[in-house]
Structure 1
């Protein structure tokens, strides 16, 4: 079995306007994911607003997650930063606290070259001794990992997995075959972009890195287990039922949408960090209508 597999759930990080974590709300979210028995939990990813939190608050969030899981579930922590030395320190924090791995993106202000990204990743892996997951997220970093760069990084000691973006579900199988052909056998290959990830798991991806699973883990787990069991029809049926959610994610972004879902489901009341604005009242009604359409009962969640 690869290092990371199955469903990796990425919750929001509820915080106040000063960037202080709502520890009770965050712990409740993590406890729900642990109770659902997701395969891993990703804290401080893009959904977890890692770039909007101080080093101290990142440590606090990770410590809370590790306390709630009690070592029963792998916890992957975002360690991305603009500067390599800052990313090293964040990864060292994650290692010291007991994270299973660090999720590292190619964050930059000035555009980076492939050699610069390679050096950044190898330095963080070497100096932290933390297992590193490559986070390819061009939508926010504006850097795209080429097959050649992924192949180079996958052979670096300590770099153990990749979280790929998805754009077209028809291209996933070919992309997965190509990436497997150049990576070590134990290198975990996973995907994000929830609306395409059922197909990714059907194609044989190791991991679904999921935004929705951070709020609604049960239905996502059913999709993953069906795909893992080879029940393609059931995985696609369950995924098709979530089409209204995927439409919301595409229209309003998954980040903004899940804050509303968390509120509607009675999990927590929080807003994304400024300058990201919460959804309008009209948009919130669309999210509520979507839940009603799915017959998702908030009472069952609480």
Structure 2
């Protein structure tokens, strides 16, 4: 494949990240260009797979089998692209070529992607999770593994960074689950543990903020912040540019939780977002002091 076509693939990966994963996009701005492209590529792969199972009616009884075949076919194309790239042969699809080049260059293990695709397939048959441990089983392949995929890109200076990277993957996805309750209901899914909802007498299907709903979501937010605190240990285990990247993404994502609290736990009326000026400020500040940023975020989150 020509350099122009490969560059086209990377540009599309960047576009997908900007459109759907702005927190990743802003964090990646603080990485050297080659590693920035790798972040975009890994995100793009996950987004393209997620889009298959999140398409309208993709998981209805009439469509689930066809969606499964589409997901399997995409997985095969990805693994074939990686094998072709390792053999030094060109990949015809620009986006897959960019993704495969990034995966090979970063040395991301095949097993990570096998776990990821297995978790995506779970969305075709599973619409709820009884306990948090059950949810963690799903998130092992849909969240923790994302942290593991990104770790070689971030080039940690301490092998102990794997645990915090996994925790950050869990934290990011739990934030998504809390923020996206309404959107997931539209797909017939509830990712908040059923046992927790029963404990507080909360029913997301009402799509209404009640005292019970506030209590249930506050519980999940507290749990989410514990994961962010665990992830914060890893910032010091990264080289400077990677530490700035991770600190930016961590602070921006966790601010979604603050916005949800400010909205009185209303995740039904509209999608909670962190405004762009705030993203710019966080990104600029973390350039100078990434570890102080995460410590300050943790302190703010622990203050009533």
TM-score normalised by length of structure 1 = 0.29
Higher helix share: 2
